[in-house]
């Protein structure tokens, strides 16, 4: 391809886009994405068509990939999420949504006549996935903090006791980072004597650091989850969206199908799979280790506590869920929302104190909100 080149215009366009991306990254506080990574050491891999076609645990004839590294990443999270030593499996996905889709797919194969229960604060992609899988489902109401309403859940399951129960639990909801308590959900199932059930944990937002904080929220395999999905580009950080899904190997075995063409098993949602993203996740996991990741989580929580306090200091009724890095506050002026890329719903907005957010940035945002407030209060 080297005898061809971009025109000056096209080169300019790229340069301009790069400047825009840099600027927008600087003012980016409303979505849960880490921006503090540096993967320069991995750049040589960008020269190769890395593809982890098929099941990571079954070798493929296609050998330009990172399966060994991918397995290490899955092992790391399986252990972090206290999966039974001989009964875990998983793969690096294209993101949390794919991991959730996978969990639901496994649940449906195990319980084709099951009813899916999930709270109204559940990520928007789940409804679409339920539609794709054609699964019956019921939305459960939430408490004010965004956590599932256990009473409504219990009453609703009671009315459908003849059907297997499939729970999509939120481990950090999109808007308020509320965590549904899987041990409480298990108690309800026990009380109602439900024999057939499946619990999937949507840990896209806080699954990866929930295992690193005290007190440890009830969300993992030891607490009763059957599968857990996380996003890799959120807490860990990756230039390409990605995620990890961990499930019980015994369940995955029920859907495995061997495919001669790839010399592997067709156990994943997509055929060709990103062979680069496992490298990014592996790199951060290895570099930081559990100790470094814990420190990373502690830092986020500290900045979140600081932000909550600073918002309150200027008279805003800010709040956050226990041990969460999402700080909720009344929706600010549209100019501020656009600049800092802040989502809003029902006149509430939030910032998410990802690892790269500093107290200085919080100060800057708070100063701008104060300035706009003064402006709008000034006599015309």
Ligand X SMILES: *Cc1c(COP(=O)(O)O)cnc(C)c1O
Closest distance of CB 142 from ligand X, Å? 13
Is residue 207 a contact residue for ligand X (CB under 6 A)? no
Closer to ligand X by CB, 241 or 332: give it.
241
* 119 counts as catalytic: no
On the question of a cis peptide bond just before residue 239, with omega within 30 degrees of 0, the verdict is no
Please report, as residue ranges, which positions from 174 to 203 form the binding site for ligand X (by CB under 6 A). Answer: 174, 202
From 68-76, 170-178, 268-276, 312-320, span contacting ligand X (CB under 6 A): 170-178
- What single string gives the DSSP state of each residue in 58-105? S--S--SS-HHHHHHHHHHHHHHTT--TTS-EEEEESSHHHHHHHHHH
Binding span for ligand X by CB under 6 A among 93-101, 139-147, 217-225, 259-267 = 93-101
Q: Are 27 and 339 in contact (CB under 8 A)?
A: yes
Which of 103, 164 has the CB closer to ligand X?
Answer: 103
Q: Which of 66, 119, 324, 349 is catalytic?
A: 324
Q: How far apart are CA 319 and CA 176, in angstroms?
A: 9
Helix (H) or strand (E) holding 170: strand 165-170
DSSP secondary structure letters along 185-204: HHHHHHHTT--SEEEEEE-T
In the complex with ligand X, which residue's Cβ is closer, 236 or 265? 236
Distance CA 56, CA 11 (A): 38
Among candidate residues 233, 232, 242, 173, the one with its CA nearest the CA of residue 201: 173
Least Cβ distance, residue 33 to ligand X (angstroms): 9
* Residue with smaller CB distance to ligand X, 95 or 355: 95
As measured in angstroms, the least distance from the Cβ of 172 to ligand X is: 6
Rounded to whole angstroms, what are the CA distances from 215 to 120, 318, 324? 26, 23, 12
Q: Looking only at residues 106 through 125 of this chain, which bind ligand X when binding is defined by CB under 6 A?
A: 123, 125
Residues forming the site for ligand X (CB under 6 A)? 95-97, 123, 125, 170, 172-174, 202, 204-205, 231, 241, 243
Give the catalytic positions in this structure: 324
């Amino acid at each position: 391809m080297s005898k061809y080149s971009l025109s000056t215009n096209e080169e300019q366009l790229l340069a301009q886009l790069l400047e825009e991306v840099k600027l927008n990254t600087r003012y980016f506080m409303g979505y849960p994405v880490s921006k503090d990574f540096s993967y320069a050491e991995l750049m040589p891999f960008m020269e190769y068509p890395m593809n982890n076609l098929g099941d990571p645990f079954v070798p493929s004839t296609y050998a330009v990939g990172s399966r060994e590294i991918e397995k290490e990443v899955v092992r790391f999270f399986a252990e972090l999420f206290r999966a039974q030593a001989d009964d875990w499996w998983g793969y690096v996905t294209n993101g949390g949504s794919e991991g959730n889709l996978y969990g639901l797919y496994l649940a449906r194969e195990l319980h084709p006549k099951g009813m899916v229960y999930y709270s109204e604060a559940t990520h928007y992609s789940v409804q679409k996935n339920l539609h794709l899988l054609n699964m019956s489902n019921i939305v459960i109401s939430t408490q004010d903090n965004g956590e599932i309403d256990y009473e409504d859940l219990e009453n609703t399951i009671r009315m459908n006791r003849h059907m297997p129960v499939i729970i999509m639990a939120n481990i950090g909801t999109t808007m308020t980072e509320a965590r549904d308590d899987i041990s409480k959900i298990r108690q309800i199932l026990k009380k109602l004597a439900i024999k057939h059930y499946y619990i999937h944990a949507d840990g896209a937002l806080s699954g990866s650091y929930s295992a690193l904080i005290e007190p440890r929220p009830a969300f993992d395999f030891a607490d009763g989850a059957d599968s857990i999905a996380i996003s890799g580009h959120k807490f860990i950080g990756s230039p390409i969206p990605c995620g990890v899904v961990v499930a019980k190997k015994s369940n995955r075995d029920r859907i495995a199908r061997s495919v001669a063409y790839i010399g592997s098993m067709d156990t994943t949602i997509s055929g060709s799979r990103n062979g680069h993203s496992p490298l990014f996740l592996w790199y951060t996991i290895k570099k930081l280790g559990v100790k470094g990741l814990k420190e990373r989580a502690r830092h986020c929580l500290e900045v979140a506590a600081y932000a909550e306090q600073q918002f309150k200091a200027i008279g805003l009724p800010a709040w956050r869920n226990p041990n969460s890095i999402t700080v909720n506050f009344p929706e600010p002026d549209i100019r501020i929302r656009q600049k800092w890329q802040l989502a809003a719903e029902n006149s509430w907005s939030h910032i998410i104190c990802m690892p790269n957010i500093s107290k200085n940035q919080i100060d800057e945002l708070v100063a701008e909100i104060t300035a706009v407030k003064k402006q709008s209060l000034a006599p015309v």
